[in-house]
A and B are shown apart, each in its own frame.
Chain A
């Protein structure tokens, strides 16, 4: 019998987590493992190279297109190391009988905490003050308190709820927009569901926590941004494509809003010409898709991903299949 072959293509930052949580178990089970830890996501021909002859593929942020999937010969599972499987062609995988799995909830706490960190950074200008001081400039800056302000959460799913739990104790008045309603949760944390337009027009801080799909792509466009209060902040730790970046740049230039904090972008890594990176830290805080990046979340993700690969190697069905329907 030929060995069960697994390819691992992940960002370099996950190498240690992979080694600690997954590799040993794979080797103990005599899996044949090929690994690649990258600085920038792989191009299509590189992905094909890794995926075409393996039984299982553990992938990070690469584009897994129909072309890639059709070139694979024995692939049974694409185990996405995280939650958002929007870069994987789920339909093409389904047609070939390949499971696409993710690790829902594993990073919700990390993303929520990072979001609160970004909110506090906007309100209190922490980055700006730090950078001023490193430039030998002791300058008092005046911020705003969170207590009593309105936080609008767009997408009250597992991450939005973790944000809400924390924000409610910070004294925020919370409003939410979602297509699904969880009234029990909302009443527990004194959250009111309102329309997206209303949310945009009354919130002091708006935080996006929607998945990327055909209904959410570009939903925060110029018209929507223009509805925001001019002292407000927009936080995005979900997916870059949900927001029209050009409209956001214009809103910042025209001071339609106070500022933004963005962990995600339309193109990742973003172009160096992207103007969102050219505002100072009072207006724009930018980070490199690290909201889920904690040791704790990575360990949880690694455990689920490892177990799913093992299930498939035994001919069993994995958990958290995203392309079942």
Chain B
């Protein structure tokens, strides 16, 4: 059987992991062109390197209408991850290009990071670590999360995973979502509420909605004003869900107690932002899905999507309805 050509573009940091765990499996089935980059490719670079490709595997590169126009042979664009707000889905659909992701593959990783960020913020772990490294020895009083109220905005795969993982802390859990899964809510004692109640009653608020037009700046100054002064916001979803300027304002006016952010409106973010100066803000560089286990899981799903495409089927993880 003829082997198809596949181009994969991954951040350099994944190179070793890919080579150790996935390279053989991919090369067994496909003729692989593997590119590991230090800096995310620009639109022009994406056109230059992949204009004739049939199969392209990417992560966070911008693939808009212009780029898609330049791809004359592309059959399938595989996202080596979950979010696809960097891709013009409508344009891909019009051109008959499949776009697949690995929905759910990073849910465990993201949920775990959300809890890690919550505890880091509640207990000031990072500042205390840095202080001790600088020779300081201070007592710091944080807050417990046990028996507090957690508000989850977006009870999809990741939000639900967080609910399960955090069960041992005995928190009261409120959720806001446009879709309701009453069975899940019953089983895990989650109470669906409107977004205003979630804002005003939660001690910790964790965001797990996808980035979309409707969710753009869903969390704004108005929302922060409804939050408890002692509350902490955690965002491991997408930066554009939160109005960053409003967040900075809310933090500086002490409308809320702190924030822990893995995602930003622009990535990499502007380092001049006051977010990187406030000492009650934890910031990480979009590492929510970045674990060995999630990367392997995504690899397995990617192989399946490719197989289905080459069998002439619509891949199961296609992100739009054909």
Kindly list chain A residues whose C-beta atoms are within 8 Å of the C-beta of B125: 114, 117-118, 121, 126-127, 285, 287
Q: How does the 8 Å CB contact mask read for B121-156 relative to A, with 1 for contact and 0 for none?
A: 011111011111101111111111110000000000
Interchain pairs with CB closer than 8 A, number: 193
CB-CB under 8 A from B284, the residues of chain A are: 126, 129-130, 133
Q: Is B164 an interface residue (CB 8 A)?
A: yes
Q: How far is the CA of A139 from the CA of B290 in the complex (A)?
A: 11
- Using C-beta atoms within 8 Å of the partner chain, give the interface range for chain B: 35 or more
In angstroms, how far is the closest chain A Cβ from the Cβ of B115?
6
B76 within 8 A of A: no
- Tell me if A144 and B267 are in contact (CB < 8 A): no
Interface string of B249-290 (1 = CB under 8 A from A): 000000000000000000111010000100000111111001
A84-92, A201-209, A294-302, A304-312: which lies at the interface:
A294-302
Q: Is the CB of A13 within 8 A of B141?
A: yes
Do A287 and B290 have beta carbons less than 8 Å apart? no
Asked if A125 and B146 make an inter-chain contact with CB atoms under 8 angstroms apart, the answer reads no
Residue of A nearest to B276 (CB): A134
B73 at the binding interface (Cβ < 8 Å): no
User: Can you name the residue of chain B whose Cβ is closest to the Cβ of A268?
Assistant: B137
A171 and B293 CA atoms in complex are apart in Å by 14
Question: A109 contacts B131, CB within 8 Å?
Answer: no
Q: How far is the CA of A144 from the CA of B164 in the complex (A)?
A: 19
Interface status of A21 (Cβ within 8 A of chain B): no
Size class of the A contact interface (CB-based, 8 Å)? 35 or more
User: What's the Cα separation between A289 and B124 when bound, in Å?
Assistant: 12
Distance of A285 Cα from B128 Cα, bound (Å): 9
Q: Report if B103 contacts A (CB, 8 A).
A: no
B213 CB → nearest A CB, Å? 26
Q: How far is the CB of A161 from chain B (nearest CB, A)?
A: 11
Given A129-B284, A272-B135, A287-B128, are A121 and B168 neighbors across the interface (CB < 8 Å)?
A: no
- B113–A124 contact, CB under 8 A? yes
A290 CB to closest chain B CB (Å) equals 5
Nearest neighbor of B134 in chain A, beta-carbon distance: A277
For the complex, give the distance between the alpha carbons of A286 and B119 in Å.
15
B165 adjacent to A169 (CB under 8 Å): yes
B62 within 8 A of A: no
CB-CB nearest in chain B for A140: B13
User: A167: which B residues are within 8 A, CB to CB?
Assistant: 168
Chain B's nearest CB lies how many Å from the CB of A106?
12
* Chain B interface mostly: helix
Assess the B168–A169 pair: CB atoms within 8 A. Answer: yes
Given A113-B123, A139-B285, A145-B109: A295 touches B137 (CB 8 Å cut-off): no
A323 to chain B, nearest CB (A): 26
Other-chain contact of A297, B122, B129, B144 (Cβ < 8 Å): B144
The answer to whether B14 touches A293, judged by C-beta atoms less than 8 angstroms apart, is: no
Whether A138 pairs with B144 at a CB distance below 8 angstroms is no
A133, B290: Cβ atoms under 8 Å?
no
Contact A140/B283 with A117-B123, A166-B169 known, Cβ cut-off 8 Å: no
A13 to B142, CA, bound (A): 11
A170 proximity list for chain B (CB < 8 A): 112, 115, 165, 168
Asked whether any CB of chain A lies closer than 8 Å to the CB of B193, the reply is no
Known: A40-B137, A168-B168, A269-B137. A144 touches B13 (CB 8 A): no
Contacts of B117 in A (CB 8 A): 126
Known: A123-B112, A140-B290. A113 touches B144 (CB 8 A): yes
B130: chain A residues within 8 A (beta carbon): 127, 131
Q: Select from chain A the residue with minimum beta-carbon distance to B118.
A: A117
Q: A120-B116, A127-B125, A143-B290 are in contact. Are A295 and B143 (CB under 8 A)?
A: yes
Inter-subunit contact B132/A286 (CB<8 Å): yes
B90 at the interface (CB under 8 A from A): no
- The verdict on A290 contacting B123 (CB below 8 Å), with A141-B287, A145-B112, A295-B143 known, is yes
Kindly state whether residue A11 has any CB partner on chain B within 8 Å.
yes
Is residue B166 within 8 Å, beta carbon to beta carbon, of the partner chain?
A: yes
Interface string of B1-26 (1 = CB under 8 A from A): 00000000001011001000000000
C-alpha gap A298/B139 in the complex (Å): 12
Assembled-state Cα–Cα distance A202/B137 (Å): 34
- Tell which of A140, A272, A288, A296 touches B144, judged by Cβ atoms closer than 8 Å: A296
Q: Mark A270-287, 1 if CB is under 8 A from B, else 0.
A: 101000011001000111
Known: A117-B119, A142-B17, A142-B290. A296 touches B143 (CB 8 A): yes
Any chain B CB within 8 A of the CB of A136? yes
Give, as a whole number of angstroms, the nearest-CB distance from B107 to chain A: 10
Sorted from nearest, which 3 A-B pairs have the closest CB atoms?
A120-B116, A117-B119, A13-B139
Contacts A127-B120, A134-B283, A285-B129 supplied; 17 other A-B pairs, CB < 8 Å: A12-B139, A14-B139, A113-B144, A117-B119, A117-B122, A120-B116, A121-B125, A124-B287, A127-B126, A132-B285, A145-B291, A145-B292, A147-B108, A169-B167, A169-B168, A286-B133, A294-B123
Residue numbers of B with Cβ under 8 A of A are: 11, 13-14, 17, 108-109, 112-113, 115-117, 119-120, 122-126, 128-133, 135-146, 164-169, 267-269, 271, 276, 282-287, 290-295
Offer 7 A-B interface pairs, CB within 8 angstroms, sorted by A.
Answer: A13-B139, A126-B120, A126-B282, A140-B13, A165-B168, A170-B168, A286-B133
